[in-house]
Amino acid sequence: MNQRSARVVRRIRPAFVVAVAALLVLGSTAIDAQRRGGGARAGVRVNQNVSRTSVRSNQTVNRNVTANRDIDRNVNRDLNVNRDIDIDRDIDFDRDIDIDVDYDRWGHPIARGVAGGVAAGVALGTTVALLPSGCSTIVVGGVAYSQCGSGWYQPYYSGTTVQYVVVSAPR
């Protein structure tokens, strides 16, 4: 998606984005996108371009990491956001700012969670940059959650940016 259309999409209400995405892509991909995201985030991608801060290429880094067998450690310790939403697709190695959130014209993140969470129609796996007001931090089974009314979010580091993924209520 080029920048111009990304900006247009950004102004459209999320409910329409899936429809637009479905129109734009071939059938199987659209079905996949709907199944995967199930809501606001599917098919949306907004690049917030930034300069690189390292002259070393990703290829060099990946080669070293692979040679040293350092890439596959901690798979079970890291948050597998990918299971719920294809966040992997949108995280760029070279950025310490995550781009899987929408930004306004002047670069501020605008995806904010809602107090009702899943009950209010927000899909599981949706990532937001900001929480609604009145949330509290609750640790259940060693995992930190933000409870916002009946909605539950799990904060995580995407790069160096804290984001919140919609989860079902922990038991």
Query: Which residues make up the interface to another protein (CB under 8 A)?
Result: 3-4, 7, 47-62, 64-66, 68, 70-71, 73-75, 77-82, 87-99, 103, 105-107, 137, 139, 143-144, 154-163
Indicate the residue among 19 and 93 with the shorter CB distance to another protein: 93
Closest distance to another protein from the beta carbon of 56 (Å): 6
Indicate the residue among 16 and 73 with the shorter CB distance to another protein: 73
Among the listed residues 141, 160, 138, the one whose alpha carbon sits nearest the alpha carbon of residue 151: 138
Tokens at 168, concatenated:
């079902």
Q: 151 with 113: CB under 8 angstroms?
A: yes
Q: What angle do CA 82, 86, 89 make, to 5 degrees?
A: 110
Going by the DSSP 8-state scheme, the letter that residue 2 receives in this structure is: -
Closest distance to another protein from the beta carbon of 164 (Å): 10
Q: 166 with 141: CB under 8 angstroms?
A: no
Indicate the residue among 15 and 71 with the shorter CB distance to another protein: 71
Indicate the residue among 15 and 143 with the shorter CB distance to another protein: 143
Going by the DSSP 8-state scheme, the letter that residue 156 receives in this structure is: E
Closest distance to another protein from the beta carbon of 76 (Å): 10
Indicate the residue among 6 and 120 with the shorter CB distance to another protein: 6
Q: 131 with 113: CB under 8 angstroms?
A: yes
Closest distance to another protein from the beta carbon of 141 (Å): 12
Closest distance to another protein from the beta carbon of 96 (Å): 6
The count of other CB atoms within 10 Å of the CB of residue 161 is 16
